[in-house]
Amino acid sequence: MPPSYSSDTKPKSLRILDEISLAEVRQYYGKTPGYDAKSQLFRDLGIPPDYFALAVDDINADLATYAGSKSVTAKGVRNCATIGDFISLYSKAAGATIPPGEPK
């Protein structure tokens, strides 16, 4: 059974960003002032793209826990500019269906 976007992959991708950045992403996500899907990883969370790309092995190890999932590339991780970009990348690789209008 594929993972759920709302209860599995979206919270998990926010948790990964929370660990890599120095910001409290999960605590302030969806709040005002706070973060949303358009918040930029580098400019708002202080995550440099190359530094983020180096975590690809941990991200892939986590993705491997979902049956039928795929591994993401370092370029795929590096090219994520916003929180929403990473939620989409992680959810697609995990095999979750992203509902219309998400990520937001």
Evaluate whether 81 touches 40 at the Cβ level (below 8 Å): yes
Q: Least distance (Å) from other proteins to the CB of residue 56?
A: 3
Distance CA 70, CA 90 (A): 9
Q: Among 85, 73, 9, 10, which residue's Cα sits nearest to residue 47?
A: 85
Given 6, 24, 34, 104, the residue binding other proteins (CB under 8 A): 6
Q: Does 104 bind other proteins (CB under 8 A)?
A: no
* Tokens, residue 23: 């910001």
Give the three-class secondary structure for 48.
coil
Q: Does 95 bind other proteins (CB under 8 A)?
A: no
Distance CA 89, CA 25 (A): 17
Site for other proteins in 8-67 (CB under 8 A): 12, 15-16, 19-20, 38-40, 42-46, 48-51, 53-62, 64
Name the residues that contact other proteins, by CB under 8 A.
Answer: 4-6, 12, 15-16, 19-20, 38-40, 42-46, 48-51, 53-62, 64, 69-79, 81-82, 89, 92-93, 97, 99-102
